[in-house]
Amino acid sequence: MTEELNEPQLMEPGGKTRLYVTGDLGKGMTVSLDEGQSHYLLHVLRSQAGNLLTLFNGRDGEWQARITQAAKRGVAVTCLQQTQPQAGTPDIWLAFAPVKKTPSDYLVQKASELGVSVLQPVFTRRTVVGRINQERMRANAVEAAEQSGRLSVPEIREGVTFARLLATWPAERRLLFCDEGGDAKTMTQAARESRGGPTAILTGPEGGFDPAERAALRALPFVMPVSLGPRILRADTAALAALAIWQAVAGDF
């Protein structure tokens, strides 16, 4: 829920407004919303005590709740009934070389909608972005989780260098390296082969991976080079195309 990212909506009587909270959820439990959420409900949605909304926290499933306090000092809501039990999302990570601000916002939002569980920014030799705004990324991920009906928010990790990513990679997790250089399996084939096991997708920056990075990746036992077809895709397009194919073949589409 972030105003600039959110289309102002009227408070739906059925509680369609859906918010991610960090507190525990359970029948009769009351949750105090944070300042941003309170402001959004009171001043953007113009909601009042008695209105219904939907909450989730990534642990206790999804709950219908009623606003029991709508005051200047903040909004409190009380859980009425569970509307969905907690369910896991497929164990798919996206490691990506960050691209300029807008595409990164877009990439985080769309990858969250596509069910990614971890977003890992990677600084490769040709990455032009010097730093990432983790708070902004997290706000985008929360907003996308609220809108898409997910029951969890993807984990946004701190950016790491390419060398550190490979040095600390969990060997049991298959890394599907999107390599536009050719000589690679199709993403469909790779997704089929990685089905059932922990998997990650890796995409490069606008300028691609440099030869030394490609050689380093191809030398690793847990890495599988994959092709996303005959055309060169923009970095954010590649990440989302790879995720969608993986979800369709090995995930929960």
Could you list the residues that contact ligand SAM (CB under 6 A)? 178-180, 203-204, 206, 208-209, 227-229, 231-235, 238
Choose between 79 and 201: whose C-beta lies nearer to ligand SAM.
201
Q: Where are the beta strands (DSSP E) in 85-219?
A: 92-96, 118-123, 155-156, 160-161, 174-178, 185-186, 199-203
Give the number of other Cβ atoms within 10 Å of residue 119's Cβ: 24
Going by C-alpha positions, the residue among 97, 103, 89 that lies closest to residue 155 is 89
Q: What is the smallest separation between the CB atom of 246 and ligand SAM, expressed in angstroms? A: 13
Choose between 163 and 233: whose C-beta lies nearer to ligand SAM.
233
Measured torsion, CA atoms of residues 142, 235, 167, 140, in degrees rounded to the nearest 10: -10
Q: What is the smallest separation between the CB atom of 235 and ligand SAM, expressed in angstroms? A: 4
User: How far, in Å, CA of 235 to CA of 97, rounded?
Assistant: 8
Choose between 131 and 231: whose C-beta lies nearer to ligand SAM.
231
Q: What is the smallest separation between the CB atom of 202 and ligand SAM, expressed in angstroms? A: 7
User: How far, in Å, CA of 25 to CA of 31, rounded?
Assistant: 8
Q: What distance lies between CA 212 and its chain's CA centroid?
A: 29
Instruction: Find the helix packing angle between 235-250 and 187-194, rounded to 10°.
Output: 50
Q: What is the DSSP letter of 233?
A: P
Q: What is the smallest separation between the CB atom of 173 and ligand SAM, expressed in angstroms? A: 18
Q: What is the smallest separation between the CB atom of 3 and ligand SAM, expressed in angstroms? A: 32
User: How far, in Å, CA of 233 to CA of 239, rounded?
Assistant: 9
Q: What is the smallest separation between the CB atom of 200 and ligand SAM, expressed in angstroms? A: 13
Judge whether 94 and 184 are in contact, CB under 8 Å. no
Choose between 47 and 203: whose C-beta lies nearer to ligand SAM.
203
The number of residues making up the chain comes to 253
Q: What is the smallest separation between the CB atom of 158 and ligand SAM, expressed in angstroms? A: 21
Choose between 72 and 231: whose C-beta lies nearer to ligand SAM.
231
Exposed, middle or buried: residue 239 (CB in 10 Å: 0-12, 13-18, 19+)? buried
Choose between 79 and 184: whose C-beta lies nearer to ligand SAM.
184
Choose between 154 and 208: whose C-beta lies nearer to ligand SAM.
208
